[in-house]
């Protein structure tokens, strides 16, 4: 019996140590590059949102009150063609909002992947940031494109976009999506 017990006990301890190193948990911490790890990610259709932290960050190490930057709330991505006679569409969001309490929000940026940065919002001693559509009432001007140019037969051009936010603890939140514009039919 002793001959079996000792190897079984050693094997059990080794398995526990291995899982401890792998950190296989429900949170599924994935390493995306040498300096950042993804803490949380969700996807739905073409939409994805992520929270990342510097490597070495321990979620939950500080207990349940461990501060985290929130997901960016960016509902209702719009592409509107105000004038049928012009190949001009406008992309906008109903609002963008993120919290980082008790850390400060440093920046929030908007990128239209085809063009680069289109907006940068800087925090000023604020733990949350809220950007309504009225701060850019017309939206970002883009080409509407011809029918099917964005990959969907009934619509025009499509534009991939990214919204990023960073807080004073260097935690980052990002939203990724695609917006489809009405087609320009001269």
Partner 1 sequence: MTHSIRISLIAMILLVGVLLAFGAVQAALAMRASSDQVAKTPIPTPTPLPNQMPASSPEISFIDSPTASCILPKRNTGVCFMTWNFMSAIADPNYMVTMTVSIDDNFRARYSGFFQTSMVVPSEMMTFQVQCGAPGSGGDPYYGAVHTYTLRARDSAGLSAANYGSVTCPADLARVYLPVVKR
Q: Which of residues 135-164 bind partner 1 (CB under 8 A)?
A: 137, 139, 154-155
Three-state SS letters, 128-184: EEEEEHHHCCCCEEECCCCCCCCCCCCCCCEEEEEEEEEECCCCEEEEEEEEECCCC
Among 57, 104, 130, 133, binds partner 1 (CB under 8 A): 133
113 binds partner 1 (CB under 8 A): no
One symbol per residue from 18 to 57: x for binding partner 1 (CB under 8 A), - otherwise; what is it? ------------------------x-xx-x-x--------
Cβ–Cβ contacts within 10 Å for residue 49, how many? 19
Q: Which is nearer to partner 1, 93 or 105 (CB)?
A: 93
Q: How far apart are CA 50 and CA 118, in angstroms?
A: 20
Q: How far apart are CA 178 and CA 159, in angstroms?
A: 5
Q: Which is nearer to partner 1, 90 or 166 (CB)?
A: 90
Closest by alpha carbon to 144, among 92, 94, 80?
80
Among 40, 41, 57, 78, binds partner 1 (CB under 8 A): 78
For the CB of residue 114, give the shortest distance to partner 1 in the complex, in Å: 17
83 binds partner 1 (CB under 8 A): yes
118 binds partner 1 (CB under 8 A): no
H helix or E strand, kind and range, residue 16:
helix 2-22
> What does the binding site for partner 1 look like in residue numbers (CB under 8 A)?
1, 42, 44-45, 47, 49, 71, 74-84, 92, 94, 133-134, 137, 139, 154-155, 175, 177-183, 185
């Amino acid at each position: 019996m002793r001959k079996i017990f000792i190897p079984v006990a050693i094997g059990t301890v080794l398995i526990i140590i291995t899982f401890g190193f792998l950190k296989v948990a429900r949170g599924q911490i994935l390493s995306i590059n040498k300096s950042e790890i993804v803490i949380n990610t969700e996807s739905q259709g073409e939409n994805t949102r992520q929270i990342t932290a510097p490597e070495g960050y321990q979620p939950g190490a500080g207990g349940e009150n461990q501060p985290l930057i929130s997901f960016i709330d960016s509902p209702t991505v719009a592409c509107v063609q105000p004038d049928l006679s012009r190949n001009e569409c406008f992309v906008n969001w109903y609002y963008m909002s993120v919290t980082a309490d008790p850390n400060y929000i440093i920046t929030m940026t908007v990128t239209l992947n085809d063009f680069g940065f289109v907006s940068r919002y800087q925090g000023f001693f604020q733990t949350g940031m809220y950007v309504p559509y009225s701060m850019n009432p017309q939206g970002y001007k883009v080409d509407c494109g011809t029918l099917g140019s964005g990959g969907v037969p009934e619509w025009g051009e499509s534009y991939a976009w990214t919204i990023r936010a960073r807080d004073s603890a260097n935690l980052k939140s990002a939203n990724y999506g695609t917006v489809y514009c009405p087609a320009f039919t001269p």
